[in-house]
Structure 1
Amino acid sequence: MTQPLAPDLDRLAQLLLRLGDQHSLPTLTEDVADLFAIEADDTTMVLLVDDPKRAPEVWDVAVVLPEVLATLRNPPISAVADLAASRALAARYDIRRFPSLLFRRGAEFVGTIEGMRDWDSFGPAIDRMRQSPVQRAPGIGIPVRASTPDSCGGSPA
């Protein structure tokens, strides 16, 4: 028998369903979140959410985002990640604040917009991300430096 969701998580699940039904923002699960970006020919945007008790701005962004997207001349291909997919994507891209908008082009990282924005700045920020070049994703990889005898405390032979 499954345990019922906490009231806020149940309301969040209902909100995610409504975003899909009323605003054509599909909910991505962890197993399809990467396919969503890779199969797109353009910039994708995924709303990452968290438990609303920890991140109450999730409610605000989820309500405002469809309205902002409707005002854009050329909105990005958009979706919302469920809790598990949001956490997995946040860990991969070193995202520490929820809600966040994750932008990718194919498998490449473009950038993020974290937290709630003023209505007037949200649309332009999304447009800037659509036009931004891909970049190295934060938190991925370790910078490699050439080792010299001096850097290890040794002396040249």
Structure 2
Amino acid sequence: MSHPLLTRLTNEMGWPHLTDADALSAHLACPGLHCLFIPGDPARNLETADAAVILPELQQAFQGRFDCALVGDAIEAGLRETTRVLKTPGFLFYDGDRFLGGIAKVRDWDDYMARVPHILSTPAESDA
């Protein structure tokens, strides 16, 4: 995590930085809605910095309905495979430990405003 906007999320905003499977499990074990931010490589993907600015704005727009955490490099690939949200940056939404859906790549604000409520109101895959 070398980009200053990613560092800001953990240092200034207090988001957890999930660096291993145990940290991920512990975070998702907490009740409520979660958004995991998979940044990708900020040196190779210019959208990473944009996503690091967008997600806090989304969290605010949805009045803190979900918490946010930053996913570390060590567990990023496994999460992308498991959720099938393969492109980065990505936002993965969970209800507790149940995956609800994800949004890959940077989108227009209107797209987020349409997709996030839909994802949050969709029954978890295990409930479908």
Return the TM-score normalized by structure 1.
Answer: 0.69
Residue 71, structure 1, aligned to residue 61, structure 2: yes
CA displacement 1:103-148 (0-9 Å, x = unmatched) = 1222222111111111233234222222211015xxxxxxxxxxxx
Larger Rg over CA atoms: 1
Q: Which has the higher strand share?
A: 2
Which amino acid in the other structure matches residue 10 of structure 1? Answer: S
Q: What residue number does 2:2 align with?
A: 10
Q: Residue 50 of structure 1 contacts residue 99 of structure 1 at CA under 8 Å; is this kept in 2?
A: yes
The answer for unaligned runs of 5 or more in structure 1 is: 1-8, 137-157
Aligned equivalents of 1:17, 1:26: Cα separation in 2: 11
Tell me the secondary structure at the aligned position of residue 10 of structure 1.
Answer: coil
CA drift at 1:74: 4.4
The answer for unaligned runs of 5 or more in structure 2 is: none
Aligned equivalents of 1:10, 1:80: Cα separation in 2: 13
Q: What residue number does 1:3 align with?
A: none
CA drift at 1:78: 1.3
1:36 to 22, 27, 47: 27
Q: Residue 76 of structure 1 contacts residue 130 of structure 1 at CA under 8 Å; is this kept in 2?
A: no
Q: Which has the higher helix share?
A: 2
1:97 to 87, 91, 109: 87
1:131 to 111, 116, 121: 121
CA displacement 1:60-82 (0-9 Å, x = unmatched) = 11112112211223421211112
Q: What residue number does 2:11 align with?
A: 21
CA drift at 1:98: 0.4
CA drift at 1:100: 0.9
C-alpha RMSD of the superposition: 2.0
May I ask how many residue pairs the two structures share in their alignment?
125
CA drift at 1:52: 2.3
Q: What residue number does 1:106 align with?
A: 96
Which amino acid in the other structure matches residue 101 of structure 1? Answer: F
Structure 1, 69-78 or 42-51: larger mean CA deviation: 69-78
Distance verdict in 2 for CA 1:75–1:93, change over 3 Å: same
